[in-house]
A and B are shown apart, each in its own frame.
Chain A
Amino acid sequence: MMIFTGTFYIAALICLLGIFWRTGLWFMNGLGPEALHFSHGKRLASAVGSMIRVVFSFRILKIMRGLIRDIVFQLPLLKAGFARWLAHMCIFYGFLFLLIFHALGDQLILPFYPDYASTLNPFFFLRNFFGALVIFGILMAVANRMQRSKKFHATHGTDVAAFIIIGVILGSGFLLEAVQIISAPMFDQMVEDYMGSDDPGEIEQLKTFWADQFNVVFPGTLSSLDADLNAGQDLHEAYCAACHSSPRAAFVSYPVSRMLRSPAPWLNYHRADIWLWYVHFLACFAGLAMLPFSKFFHLISIPINWMVSAAAEVKGAHRTASEGVEPGPNTATRYILGLDACTHCGICSVNCSVEPMYRVIGNTAILPSEKLGFIKKMAEHPLQDNDFLNTLARGSFICTECHRCTAVCPSGIILADLWKTTKKALEEKGYGNVHSRMLAPMVDKVSHNPAFIELRGKTLIGKGPGMEKDLADCIQCSICSNVCPVVTTGTDIPLQSQTPQQVLNLLRMGLMDLAARSDMVWNCTTCYKCQEYCPQNIRITDIFYELRNRVTSTLYEEIPKSSQSAAHRKGGDVS
């Protein structure tokens, strides 16, 4: 019992400290420019203030109603699919009731029901029922995940760890109960503790009955007479039945105990019931200690995130993003809390509008469920290297902000806000979209920022054939420049370095890199007027697209995909 109590307190302490630490990070870490305006203390004070204001307002009723809908019945998950919802409900409620009826039975059931004993029905049955629910849920979840993994390799170590810990707790639990059923030493102990008779004959008769009816495996042979069996039954009713129902009610453990009949003498001799008990409670306490550091933290972070989003009234509870809302001291806190509420379920990635791009580009930061991991890392350690920032920028600026992920997130995270803030944070670091990097002011381009050193030191367009042959027909008539709406801005905004015709001339001379760096290429709206008016049918806009494509792939150091056609990569044949 020393070990039991000791490890429990250690685990509980780790759990509490962990929760304290994780919740503390909500106020310590920041994301995007908003985070810098407010101190940690101010953020904490503001959060507490807002919380008190909400709790003592009528809005709390509306929030509670939503909480029942989204957290208790988990309806957002149902929207994502019945199988997922069922699996999650089985795991969550199975585990919750195991906690109430089994783990905390002495603390929670006994005060209300003085006859409570774990060996009585309905608890015998319920323990198995809820345990079976969890196992069923886990198997379903693993199957769901395996099916999805064919599409995305989106199962992380944390996901596997969560499955393993629940699996060990449940598996050891059922096995423990089965081993207890067959245990002769436990029978002897119970006889000593509870039987009001020490007549060896009567004990023998009781053994006969328990061996026959309850699958206890005793060493040696027992009487097989019906008379002894009947006498044993009477003794059972007299001494045992009040506190011990038939273990057959344990509809999972009992069949398992039947299967364990042949190794039973060995198991009983080595007291497997004691060893498995250690395994079982140590696994449970390990789970408790792991809670703040694993996926299970979502038990805490999701309801809090949900309530915070609802309280902030980010337009229509939590389904749309907080557009146009001035960032306040709670903004950064909300973002970090949102990051913590992700369970990596992957529903966002399944619904992602640009998921097909991921299949071609292969950058995992395109997928929302994976991008979130990158953002989390950046929030924890703002100083990241060039490769990391380039990868995240690549994924972030492919996102079209369609808001589908936010609409389907069962944890109610306002993902769209996270994506937008991340883009802002990346822009501040110089890792904006390719356009803004190419159009950055000279002062940035000559700075020591690695985002621009890259651009400076590299030949942007080195690969592939030149475009001279496509442009051989160009007669330099300048019609393209004359119809270009962007060129007209030149009189008011001194931006333009070259006109389309001048870019074409650079290309004709083979000065590809110079052409690709021209502002004109990046300021082009792709309205296709130049191409439409060109008397020589030169595909000017398509050439600009191609230049952008090539710069992008150099910038992100992507090797052109082998599956892409040669013609597609070939410089001139772009239409």
Chain B
Amino acid sequence: MTYAFFGGCKISHDVPHYETSVRSVLQFFDIPLTDAPFTCCGYPMRHQDSFASIFSSARNMALAGQKGVDIMTLCQCCFGQLMFAAHRLKTDEVLRNAVNSRLAVEGLTWDGDIRIRHLLSVLHEDIGMEKISKMITNPLTGVRLAAHYGCHALRPGHIVRMDNPLAPTIFEDLIRAIGAEPVDWGRRLECCGHPLWEKNNGVSLYLMKAKIQSAVLSGAHAICTACNYCQIQFETVRQKETNDMEGGKPIPAILYIQMLAHGLGMAQNPLEKGNRRNKHG
């Protein structure tokens, strides 16, 4: 199964190691990726103009449809947005016609043929726990990780359908597969705060700090993410805005794919400083 790689707006500049790691891990598991001239998924526009945002999503899906491949996103918000738009287009005929008449100008149509997958689902379902565990050469034994799902991949549950929206498990499964131990933590399913960054920084940072404290209390060694926005919030924004974490020792946030790449022996341990942005693997 080939997937069209959907990088979104943030990865190529802000977290380029996310993309390179995903590409090499998927290559390792023989999952081919292809590229298409995708644009913004439409998520940031959803706050401002729902039609424009759905049009942008539909256009991206139509581009993948033209190639006959499913889309794989690395970002919870891209994933949530594309699923949301697909749902709206499926259920609202007037909207669908309006979007398609605009797409027709460049010879595209949205017909809902393709599937939207998030990286976590691809790892969990297409590759599977068994295969991943079998390939792990550097098991991360004793490492406790706090799975950070990200909101838009889980909710609204009846639309995105990645996992149980209130009691998900796939991320924990994936953490076990690399030999690490998932922790149960209070604010596991809450927002990282990034949607409010540069909109209301006070609330944005408060939510981030609350999450980090919760992860620290649970005894995690790191917060494990699978979304560029969450990673940017816990890494870039945090470095820029805060020097220390009140009431606990600071713990890093690591992209799951980098932990996996390390487990597969393709990269240095990202838990050690200096390896966080390791582009190989």
Contact = CB atoms under 8 A, between A and B. Distances in A.
Contacts of B49: 357, 360-361, 549, 552-553
B156 A528 contact: yes
B207 A485 contact: yes
Contacts of A522: 199-200
A25 B8 CA distance: 38
A525 B51 contact: no
A565 B50 CA distance: 11
Nearest to B236: A323
A564 B98 contact: yes
B121 to A, nearest CB: 18
Contacts of A564: 51, 95, 98
Q: SS class of chain A's interface: helix, strand, loop or mixed?
A: helix
B105 to A, nearest CB: 8
Interface in A434-466: 434-436, 439
A565 B98 contact: yes
A552 B40 contact: no
Interface of B: 8-10, 12-13, 39-40, 42, 44-56, 59, 87-88, 92, 94-95, 97-98, 101-102, 151-152, 154-157, 159, 165-166, 187, 189-191, 193, 195-196, 198-200, 202-203, 206-207, 210, 240
26 contacts: A353-B39, A355-B39, A357-B45, A357-B52, A360-B55, A398-B48, A401-B9, A403-B13, A436-B199, A485-B210, A523-B196, A525-B151, A525-B207, A526-B151, A527-B155, A532-B157, A532-B166, A533-B166, A542-B156, A549-B47, A563-B102, A564-B95, A565-B92, A565-B97, A567-B94, A575-B88
Nearest to B96: A565
A354 B39 contact: yes
Given A486-B203, A486-B207, A546-B50, A356 B59 contact: yes
A570 B278 CA distance: 48
B45 A398 contact: yes
Interface residues of A, number: 59
B39 A561 contact: no
A233 interface: no
A523 B12 contact: no
A492 B206 contact: yes
B200 A523 contact: yes
Contact of B155 (A398, A416, A493, A532): A532
Contacts, number: 172
Interface in A505-547: 522-523, 525-529, 531-533, 539, 541-542, 545-546
Given A356-B39, A439-B199, A567-B94, A434 B48 contact: yes
Contacts of B44: 398, 400
A565 B49 CA distance: 13
A433 B199 contact: yes
Contact of B198 (A403, A433, A575): A433
B191 A525 contact: yes
Given A400-B9, A434-B48, A489-B206, A528 B59 contact: no
A402 B13 contact: yes
A359 interface: yes
Contacts of A566: 94
Contacts of B52: 356-357, 360-361
A324 interface: yes
Contacts of A488: 210
Interface string A397-429: 010111110000000000010000000000000
A27 to B, nearest CB: 30
A532 B50 contact: no
B94 A552 contact: no
Nearest to B157: A532
A489 B187 CA distance: 13
B47 A545 contact: yes
B45 A354 contact: yes
Nearest to A549: B50
Contact of B40 (A357, A433, A436, A486): A357
A253 interface: no
A345 B88 CA distance: 37
Contacts of A401: 9, 13
Interface of A: 320, 324, 352-357, 359-361, 398, 400-404, 416, 433-436, 439, 485-486, 488-489, 492-493, 495, 522-523, 525-529, 531-533, 539, 541-542, 545-546, 548-549, 552-553, 561, 563-568, 573-575
Contacts of A360: 49, 51-52, 55, 102
Q: SS class of chain B's interface: helix, strand, loop or mixed?
A: helix
Given A525-B207, A545-B46, A485 B155 contact: no
Given A492-B206, A565-B94, A532 B156 contact: yes
B240 A324 contact: yes
A522 B203 CA distance: 11
Given A439-B199, A532-B157, 10 more contacts: A353-B40, A356-B42, A357-B45, A433-B198, A435-B47, A435-B196, A528-B154, A532-B166, A549-B50, A563-B51
A486 B199 CA distance: 14
Given A353-B40, A357-B56, A488-B210, A402 B92 contact: no
Contact of A529 (B45, B190, B193, B196): B190
A409 to B, nearest CB: 14
Nearest to B59: A356
**10 A-B pairs closest in CB distance:** A565-B94, A528-B155, A402-B9, A435-B199, A403-B13, A360-B52, A527-B151, A400-B9, A527-B191, A525-B191
B110 to A, nearest CB: 13
Contacts of B157: 532
Contacts of A320: 13
A568 B94 contact: yes
B48 A548 contact: yes
Contact of A354 (B40, B46, B51): B40
A545 B50 contact: yes
Contacts of A493: 202-203, 206
A26 to B, nearest CB: 27
A354 B43 CA distance: 11
Contact of B190 (A434, A485, A575): A485
Contact of B191 (A416, A434, A485): A485
Contacts of A355: 39
Nearest to B94: A565
A316 to B, nearest CB: 12
B202 A495 contact: yes
Q: Which of A486, A527, A533 has the most CB of B within 10 A?
A: A527
Given A402-B10, A527-B191, A356 B51 contact: no
A360 B102 CA distance: 9
